[in-house]
Chain A
Amino acid sequence: MKPIDVQKVEEAINKFKDQPIYLHLETTNGAYAAHRNEGMMTVSAFIRNGKIQFSQGKITGEHPYRVGLKLEDGWVYAQGLTDWEISEQGQLLLAGHDGEGKIAISLQLSETPFM
């Protein structure tokens, strides 16, 4: 992946606009967060291949970035994104890596289901 280029990512986001697409959205602080740091909670969530359609998509912020997708009945939101890539399958992969390079959040869009 490479560091996010706002203009290119916004163009890539907009290629998925106004059509049914597949969403992968996750965030995690690691399965061992509470085990390693007393008082910390292990928190993580993901949705894989959620079907969505958005009418407006934006990327904002300054390293790390935020992405918001406006749905007919709601929103998709992600904060902490640092890197991006278009996969061989044409999927838009956005991820937020922490100082150690560990993934902390990812937001991905695809026209076909993620494997």
Chain B
Amino acid sequence: MEEKHVLVVFPHPDDESFGPGGTIASYTKLGIPVTYACLTLGEMGRNMGTPPFATRESLPSLRKQELIEACKVLGIKDVRMLGFRDKTIEFEDEAKVIETIKELIVEVKPSLIITHYPGHGVHPDHDATGHATVEAVRQLPEAVRPKVYCMAITKEREKVLGKPDVVHDVESTMDVKVAAIKAHRSQTEAMFKQQSNDDLTTRLKKWLTEEQFWIYRF
């Protein structure tokens, strides 16, 4: 884990916590700066709280606050909200999205980027974000390209991509990860109301504890 600066690129507030939350927490614990580029505010999310306390119109500002809170929990000091809209990234001018991410990479100069594996994100926003990030890196001269760790969540991921290249057991930062997930209250409170913490450690343990990454090969 010898990184200088880590750039995380995902489309929705909470992707950073559910996905590589434990990994992020272990970097920030070591004092490695992490920048989170969050493309949208998850404006079209289905979860409205349990019982619902958000409306379609109040959701964006609530999720923005939740994002800020979750980043605080994870030790992320630099959050960039890129201002795209939930569900629409794949319909934007692709070159524009790539350029936006490329400018950020050039500015932040990360040694490692974490994003979605294009085609293995399930959600179209995940795929579009992973694709734009990978293409942004591809446009950089080979000598200065950061490593890219991709998260893949399709069922057929191992059949297509093989075993993950990097597997982090995040047991030691699990408390931080769960706290960050809980910070996204509108989206996750149902999950925690349905089960006691004991159940959580059994049922969700493997899903949350093992963070798998595939290194993108250009």
Contact = CB atoms under 8 A, between A and B. Distances in A.
A3 B51 CA distance: 12
Interface in B21-39: none
A32 interface: yes
B56 A32 contact: no
Interface in A59-115: 83, 85, 87, 89, 91, 93, 95, 97, 100-104, 106, 108, 114-115
Contacts of B57: 87, 89, 91, 93, 108, 114-115
Given A101-B47, A102-B47, A115-B57, A31 B52 contact: no
Contacts of A97: 48, 52
A22 B4 CA distance: 48
Contacts of B44: 26, 28, 46
Number of chain B interface residues as a range: 20 to 34
A102 to B, nearest CB: 4
Interface residues of A, number: 27
Contacts of B190: 100-101
B46 A102 contact: yes
Contact of B48 (A28, A32, A102): A102
Nearest to B189: A101
A43 interface: no
Do most interface residues of chain B lie in helix, strand or loop, or is the interface mixed? loop
A1 B52 contact: yes
B155 interface: yes
Interface-centre pick from B52, B122, B123 (highest chain A CB count, 10 A) = B52
B65 interface: no
A68 B58 CA distance: 25
A60 B51 CA distance: 25
Contacts of B100: none
A99 to B, nearest CB: 11
Nearest to A34: B122
B80 to A, nearest CB: 20
A31 B124 CA distance: 8
Given A31-B87, A95-B55, A103-B48, 5 more contacts: A31-B123, A93-B56, A101-B52, A103-B56, A104-B46
6 contacts: A1-B55, A32-B123, A35-B155, A83-B52, A93-B57, A101-B48
